[in-house]
Amino acid sequence: MPKTFRQNMGFIGALLDEYQKAIEEYKAVLCSLSPQQFTAIADKETTDKNCVSIQSVTNHILLAGYGYLYMIAKQFGDLPYERKKEVDVSSIESACAELDALLKHSEERLNPKVKMTDEEIMNNIIKSPWGQTFDIDQLLEHAVMHVIRHRRQIEIFKTRLQ
């Protein structure tokens, strides 16, 4: 099947295409797991509650994705915006559905921004809750890499759990 790309969406379309690819790759790893592997403690040493199991990592990815959208909405005055604070990761199937919903919501929220000029991008600096600053392009790149980094992490977890 030929690959399709989001057309006439500039940098946002490109980043959404890559976000979709990263999410699909993440879901493929999830779907290769047993339910026991999904919920098992994979890192007994970590103090980060977001990284003890594949289930907790998935929850973290989803809530972070909604957090990035909230930061963008806040910066651009797209308020009120209710940040999603709970997701259903009770099973692999529900987690995959939540990942699909995040991607769809991201596209809906970002679509109005496709005509942004370089000046608008550069003049809107978003300060993250962890202290780092981004423009919207950099923040969306971070969102894509966030999924990719955690996909690698859960692939490592999978080998530990086999």
Burial of 1 (0-12, 13-18, 19+ CB in 10 A): exposed
Burial of 36 (0-12, 13-18, 19+ CB in 10 A): exposed
- Give me the residue spans of the domains in the chain: 10-161
Element holding 154 (H helix, E strand): helix 136-161
Cα separation, 16 vs 77, in Å, equals 21
Q: Which two tokens stand for residue 121?
A: 């991008």
Cα separation, 100 vs 97, in Å, equals 5
Find tokens 């003890």 and name the residue: 52
118-136, pLDDT tens digit by residue?
Answer: 899 889 999 999 999 999 9
Residue 2 has pLDDT above 90, yes or no: no
82-101, pLDDT tens digit by residue?
Answer: 889 999 999 999 999 999 99
68 φ, ψ to 5°?
Answer: -60, -40
Residue count (the chain): 162
Q: Which two tokens stand for residue 140?
A: 């969306």
Q: Report the SS3 class of residue 137.
A: helix
Please give the pLDDT value at position 1. Answer: 60
Model-level pTM?
0.94
- The domain 10-161 is placed in CATH, from the list 1.20.120.450, 3.50.50.60, 1.20.120.340, 1.25.40.340, at 1.20.120.450
